[in-house]
């Protein structure tokens, strides 16, 4: 695994495409969004206002969803759920309240290795998005999983 420069946030048309799932969920068309994308409604740690983000589901644990903070522990949504772990989630048309639980590094490594094995191309792309070049091996995916925080969302 090689650490590469983290890509700059998308701009222009690419930014619009990345934000499209969020807009679809907000407009009530979440059922049109692929099931691998989760809509997270959380509370801003400073403002106290509702915030939203669409995240890729990288794993399932029973009835829970696992997501990763691709930009690390400084991502706003991640810091917000640390402050207020009670959140709302929606996957396609199914909405529920959930509690956010931060996973330890070894659990993150296991989940990322499973994701890379299930979705090799998506796994490499996700790792690159997070700032890592991987060769597709289980060891590389595990190392990426150790270096980024993972959160399990337990529906109520």
> Domain-by-domain residue ranges, the chain?
2-155
How many Å apart are CA 34 and CA 128, to the nearest integer?
21
Domain 2-155, classified CATH 2.60.40.10, yes or no: no
Q: Say if residues 78 and 151 touch (Cβ distance below 8 Å).
A: yes
Torsion angles phi and psi, residue 62, rounded to 5: 65, -125
- The pLDDT tens digits of the residues spanning 16-29 come to 888 899 999 999 99
Residues 30, 46, 146, 144, CA torsion sign: positive
Residue 12 falls in which region: left (phi positive, over 0), alpha (psi -120 to 50) or beta: left
- Would you state the pLDDT for residue 24? 93
DSSP assignment letter at 45: T
Q: How far out from the chain centre does Cα 22 lie? A: 13
Measuring CA to CA, how many Å separate 49 from each of 31, 42, 84, 103? 25, 8, 12, 25
- The pLDDT tens digits of the residues spanning 105-156 come to 999 999 999 999 999 999 999 898 888 999 999 999 999 999 999 999 999 9
pLDDT tier for residue 10 given thresholds of 50, 70 and 90: confident
* Segment 30-34 long-range contacts (CB within 8 Å, at least 24 positions apart): 30/90, 30/91, 30/92, 30/93, 31/92, 31/93, 33/92
Note the pTM of the prediction, 2 decimals: 0.91
- The pLDDT tens digits of the residues spanning 45-94 come to 999 999 999 999 999 989 999 999 988 899 999 999 999 999 999 999 89
Question: How many other CB atoms sit within 10 Å of the CB of residue 73?
Answer: 11
pLDDT tier for residue 2 given thresholds of 50, 70 and 90: confident
């Amino acid at each position: 695994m090689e650490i590469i420069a983290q890509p700059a946030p998308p701009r222009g048309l690419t930014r619009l495409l990345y934000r499209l799932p969020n807009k679809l969920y907000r407009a009530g068309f979440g059922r049109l969004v692929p099931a691998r994308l989760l809509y997270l409604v959380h509370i801003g740690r400073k403002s106290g206002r509702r915030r939203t983000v669409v995240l890729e589901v990288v794993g399932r644990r029973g009835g829970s969803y696992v997501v990763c903070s691709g930009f690390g522990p400084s991502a706003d949504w991640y810091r917000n759920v640390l402050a207020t772990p009670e959140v709302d989630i929606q996957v396609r048309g199914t909405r529920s309240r959930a509690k956010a639980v931060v996973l330890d590094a070894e659990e993150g490594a296991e989940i990322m290795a499973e994701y890379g094995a299930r979705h090799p191309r998506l796994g490499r792309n996700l790792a690159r998005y997070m700032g890592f070049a991987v060769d597709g091996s289980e060891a590389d995916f595990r190392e990426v999983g150790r270096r980024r925080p993972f959160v399990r969302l337990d529906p109520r």
